A and B are shown apart, each in its own frame.
Chain A
Amino acid sequence: MRSDGVGRPDAAVVRDALGVGIAVGLSGFAFGVTSAGSGLTLPQTCALSLLVFTGASQFALVGALAAGGNPLTAAAGAFFLGVRNAFYGLRLSQTLALPRAVRPFAAQWIIDETTAVSLAQPTRRNARLGFTVTGLSLYVLWNLTTLLGALGAEALGDTDAWGLDAAGPAVFLALLAPMLRTTTERAVAGLAVVLGLGLLPVLPAGVPVLVAALAAPAVLCLQGLRRRGAAGDDPQEEVR
């Protein structure tokens, strides 16, 4: 990261940032519809987009509440999905080098999209501009379209008849697909599906998702054991 030097023109950074902010900001509509269809009131739906502002966690929370989950179990699932933002913050604190007083305000905008735009910039000035424009456009649009989606769902009445209950799983699949790059990720996803569906009939609502999260450490553990086993079988290893 160069703090001076030749950066990109401001207009190019703003154009990229607005492109991401507008495209993703419009998806708030899907959230507003899903949340209202799950039985949340208009103020509850809008409060989630204003205060939580990290899409996957919001969808997870309304899905768990609709399934009749305990509020704290539902919140735990949403929280674990939000943990990745801590790692984004860690990267961004070096890239953006924000003054301490600004950090509590910038924190709310630390999500997948602002991180992707900021880290793609060549200079600190570009990164700060990209972060601000993506964050602002996405925050404003996401909240506006959440409101419109919730109002629209109330006007539609039975959202299931319109197939809107399929929006939630489609959103999760769209977020998941780009993450399935290697065998490790696919193994984790496969094990999580088996755990999530297999435990559904026997555990209280919301709990199977939390148990399915254990697929991540389980696969990492198995990988570690296999690597150690392979190293032990290596004849050259014994000679040494």
Chain B
Amino acid sequence: MNIWIAIGATALGCYAVKLAGLLVPAGALERPLVRRLAALLPVALLAALTAQQAFADGHALVLDARAAGLAAAALALVLRAPFLVVVAAAVVVTAGVRALGG
């Protein structure tokens, strides 16, 4: 039930902001500071999420096979690999390190 509440809230919220952009008069959100903040907000969230999902286990910080997978993804990004290749590199390397007992 909790999960459905989260899905409902996310769906409503995400649809509302999409629609708001189409409906509000142009200029309402065009202040430079608001634009800067809107551009930087995803940077902060994505960076924190990347770190947490790679190095957290519940409330503990851990260094496990996922770190190797993330490093592989970073290398693939530096080499300008397509999106799916980046994700595949992380998955394959993580599985490989785990199989070797990492």
* B and A form one assembly: yes
| Interface 0/1 of B44-84, CB less than 8 Å to A | 11111111111110111100011001100110010000111
B49 close to A63 (CB less than 8 A): yes
- Set of chain A residues within 8 Å of B77, measured between Cβ atoms: 173-174, 177
Interface size class of A (residues with CB under 8 A): 35 or more
| Interface 0/1 of A212-232, CB less than 8 Å to B | 111111011000000000000
A interface, by DSSP: helix, strand, loop or mixed?
helix
B42 close to A81 (CB less than 8 A): yes
A-B contact count (CB 8 A): 300
Taken together as a complex, chains A and B put the C-alpha atoms of A74 and B55 apart, in Å, by 18
- Chain B nearest CB: distance from A106 CB in Å? 7
Which interface residue of A57, A88, A169 has the most chain B CB atoms within 10 A? A169
Taken together as a complex, chains A and B put the C-alpha atoms of A88 and B23 apart, in Å, by 12
- Residues A163 and B18 in contact in the complex (CB < 8 Å), given A170-B73, A213-B44: no
Query: What is the chain A residue whose CB lies nearest that of B29?
Result: A90
A selection of 20 A-B contacts at a CB cut-off of 8 Å is A51-B7, A52-B7, A65-B3, A71-B3, A75-B6, A78-B13, A83-B38, A87-B35, A89-B20, A92-B21, A163-B65, A163-B92, A166-B93, A169-B66, A173-B50, A189-B47, A193-B51, A196-B51, A201-B59, A215-B48
- Chain B positions near chain A (C-beta within 8 angstroms): 2-7, 9-11, 13-15, 17-24, 26, 29-30, 33, 35-56, 58-61, 65-66, 69-70, 73-74, 77, 82-84, 86-87, 89-98
